Chains A and B, each alone.
Chain A
Amino acid sequence: MDFPLFHLDLLGNRWLIAIIAITHVLINHGLAVGMMPLIAAMEWYGHRSQDARWDRLAYRILFVCFLITTTIGALTGVGIWFSVSLVNPYSIASLIRVFFWAWFAEWLVFITEVCLILAYTLTWKNWSTRGGKWKVRHIRLGFALALFSWITMAIIVAILGFMMDPGNWLTDHSFWIGVMNPLYLPQLAFRTPLAAAMAGIIAMFLVLFYTQRGDAFRYDALRAVSLWTLAFAPLVIIAGWWYYTSVPGAMKENLGVSLGTLEFADWQERFLQIAAATVITILLVVQFAIFRPKLLPRIALVIPFLSILWMTGHFERVREFIRKPYIIGRYMYANGIRVDDYALLQRDGVLKYATYSNPLSEAELAGIPDGLSEPERSAHLRAIQQGKDVFMITCSRCHSGHGSNSISGHLQRMFGDQPWTPDLTASYIENMHYAQPYMPPFPGSKAELRLLGRYLEHLQNNKAPIPGAQSVGVVVNRNLSTRTATHDH
């Protein structure tokens, strides 16, 4: 990581990405990929049965999707980029170098998708009143939109799959090898029915919203959407099974540590339970909607919806989890340092090659021991400054100082109130990748391990949040830079 380091000490850097990404996935799956085919099918059915009520309902559901996908949906999509490039510029920059054309193609599909949803929504009324051929054309537009939404997802899944398991890409840095990695198909197979089922549940909710109690159409609509949902629920289970039986192979290569396997078994068991619970609640509610639609309360739909959210969340977590400690499997660790760089950095230290230093704020200086002589004090400050730089470079992409997943929280739990001396902490950190397979090995030198220890000791007495480059800026390490007269003005 040779960039100024953006850092959010309270929220934690990873939460910034997680919040944006999860919102995006939910909207993308539930309101676009799964919903567009359902809406087009409703419009088609309304046209075939010459029943305008289906048309009206389909349009209303589409309008909700339109409002949300073209605002929150589109912007969180861009937001994933923004946030990842703030938190982990090295990884996203590397990925873009490899996947430029995949992303470019995905962008063209995305442009098409946006044009189609604009056209589909904005021409609905006009083309419908023109009737006949125009209506058929409009329905086709709907199915085209559905197809392009799905293709967008299919491309993104390739990139996500690559990040977990780059397959043969490491030896042959080519684009297609990256795309055709072993987790691609199972993941896509899982997300497709999941999106459809999610859309079904959301649509049922909207049906209750847009129709009146006692209206016979309400029950027809509920029944139809229920059948849609029912058709996809078993596929979620089957593809889920396929996906998770493909994971261990991909994961073994990354971890190879028994603890990791244990954690995975844990995840796996949980996943099975959640998936089973989700599908059962879906089935129950759907049975209800089919056979006793009059008795279905709105609140009942919230339950399968929440369990789908839970399952999706749990499912997304595995991505994080399998690829730990890497951000790009076996190529780059989550601290943004390439595996190949380790030999050099562990020999010479990370500081020697760091372009920037992260200045200490006033508040961070509190808690320095009293009664030091002036030279002692400045030596102490220098050690803390260097220790902080080591921390920022090697730990801060995953840990905050005092906020979420905070280093002080972990140390408090492990060592309590006894002084966190460098002797105590350094020996743990040296072996931390064995203790916690989430973590990459410490990339710095032995001397830097001590410096980091000094800094952690300081953190015990100083609870100020660690500011990032976005507020305190950076200091350029003098020994590295060359001052050129032409650039001074």
Chain B
Amino acid sequence: MAGSALRRLMAEYKQLTLNPPEGIIAGPVNEENFFEWEALITGPEGTCFEGGVFPAKLVFPPDYPLSPPKMQFTCEMFHPNIYSDGRVCISILHAPGDDPMGYESSAERWSPVQSVEKILLSVVSMLAEPNDESGANVDAAKMWRENRDEFNKIAQRIVRRTLGIPN
């Protein structure tokens, strides 16, 4: 019998392929290692990220689902809750007690109830509604608050870039 983390990841992968949520594709990079996934997230409609397809990678710990995975966008991103190297900073990816930003209630935190699908949906909603209290990218948070037009412009440029369209 394979490890419990592996079995759960396989179950989630199966679930995601059978019943994919809209605008999200995710799966292991290769079928020999289920602990590294690639995901493609489409920007939510009606937001400045609309139309973009954003690649990201998820790395799962050996004790998944007891500990949360790490998620990192592999394309350029400009967003208050995404570090400039692409790492995503949202509460669902942190266990209670591990609080880099100090603003989240424990209700939204990681627990085995969460799943890859919920993480990706949270990321989609994060793209739609940035939380500018979290300072993963301070510049982006500031711009989001104070100069929304400029922010939208940068977002649109990133969207075009992910689609391979020159600026």
A and B interact = no
- Interfacial residues, chain A to chain B (CB-CB below 8 A): none
